[in-house]
C-alpha cells in the first residue's frame, strides 16, 4: 500500500494552527489531529480507558462512563510517576491511531496536526514540517482572550513548549500568521500547490 505524503503541522499555543489546518481541509486535504485522537483513545469502552480504570480505580470515571479529566489531572500533576505511567500508555496509542488514520486517508497528501510535534519526536513520521509562527505577545493576547485565562498561565505554557527559535530552526516551511485571513489564505494556497507536486513525486 502506498504511504501518503505527510505534512506535520505545528506551532506554539495561540499561533493559529487550527485556522491554518482548516484552510487545508477546505481544499479537500485530510486532517489527522493529535488532540482529537488523544480524546478518541480514552473514549468510553476504549482499551485505553479500560487500562486507566484498572490502574487508577473506578473513581477515575464519571457516572456516564466517561473519563473524569479533572480527577486525572489532579493525580498526575501531583505525582510524576503517575504522569509517566499515563504518557507511556497514551503516547503509543495516539501514535498508532494517527498512523491508522493517515493510512486510511484518500487525499493527495495528509496534514498531521500535532501541537508537540518536535517535543514528542513525531516529526520523524512526516515528510515535511510546517510551523505556524507568531510573536509571543500575540500568542499571549490571543490565548488569554480565547480561553479566558491570565497572561501568566499562557506564559507558563509557552515556556513549557520548545522555544520559538528552536521550532523555526527545525521547520521545513513556515507560515507567518501575524497578518489577516487573506494573507493566510495566500500562504496556504502556495504551500498546497507545493505539497501536491511533492506528493506526486513520491508516488
For residue 193, pLDDT beyond 80: yes
Instruction: Compute the C-alpha angle 145/30/5, nearest 5°.
Output: 115
Q: pLDDT value at position 1?
A: 43
> pLDDT digits over 25-79, tens only?
999 999 999 999 999 999 999 999 999 999 999 999 999 999 999 899 899 888 9
C-alpha 170/C-alpha 189 separation (Å) is 22
Share of the chain above pLDDT 70, in %: 99
Tell me what the pLDDT averaged over the chain comes to: 93
- Banded model confidence at residue 149, pLDDT cuts 50, 70, 90: confident
From residue 108, give the alpha-carbon distance in Å to each of 64, 100, 120, 144. 40, 16, 26, 36
pLDDT, average across residues 138-162: 88
**DSSP H or E run through 7:** strand 5-10
Euclidean distance between the first and the last CA atom of the chain, given in angstroms as a whole number: 11
Q: pLDDT value at position 2?
A: 56
pLDDT, average across residues 175-197: 95
Q: pLDDT value at position 64?
A: 94
Q: pLDDT value at position 126?
A: 96
Q: pLDDT value at position 156?
A: 87
Q: pLDDT value at position 164?
A: 93
Q: pLDDT value at position 202?
A: 78
- For residue 199, count CB atoms less than 10 angstroms from its CB and return exposed for 0-12, middle for 13-18, buried for 19 or more: buried
Amino acid at each position: 500500500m502506498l504511504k501518503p505524503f505527510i505534512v506535520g503541522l505545528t506551532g506554539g499555543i495561540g499561533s493559529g494552527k487550527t485556522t491554518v489546518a482548516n484552510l487545508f481541509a477546505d481544499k479537500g486535504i485530510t486532517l489527522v489531529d493529535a488532540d482529537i485522537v488523544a480524546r478518541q483513545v480514552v473514549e468510553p469502552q476504549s482499551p485505553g480507558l479500560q487500562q486507566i480504570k484498572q490502574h487508577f480505580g473506578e473513581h477515575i470515571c464519571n457516572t456516564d462512563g466517561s473519563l473524569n479529566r479533572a480527577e486525572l489531572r489532579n493525580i498526575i500533576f501531583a505525582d510524576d510517576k503517575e504522569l509517566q505511567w499515563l504518557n507511556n500508555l497514551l503516547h503509543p496509542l495516539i501514535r498508532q491511531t494517527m498512523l491508522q488514520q493517515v493510512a486510511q486517508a484518500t487525499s493527495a497528501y495528509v496534514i498531521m496536526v500535532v501541537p508537540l510535534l518536535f517535543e514528542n519526536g513525531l516529526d520523524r513520521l512526516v515528510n515535511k514540517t510546517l510551523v505556524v509562527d507568531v510573536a509571543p505577545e500575540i500568542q499571549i493576547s490571543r490565548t488569554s482572550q480565547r480561553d479566558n485565562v491570565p497572561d501568566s498561565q499562557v506564559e507558563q505554557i509557552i515556556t513549557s513548549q520548545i522555544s520559538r527559535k528552536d521550532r523555526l530552526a527545525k521547520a521545513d516551511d513556515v507560515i507567518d500568521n501575524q497578518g489577516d485571513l487573506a494573507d493566510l489564505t495566500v500562504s496556504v494556497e502556495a504551500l498546497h500547490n507545493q505539497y501536491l507536486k511533492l506528493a506526486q513525486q513520491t508516488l
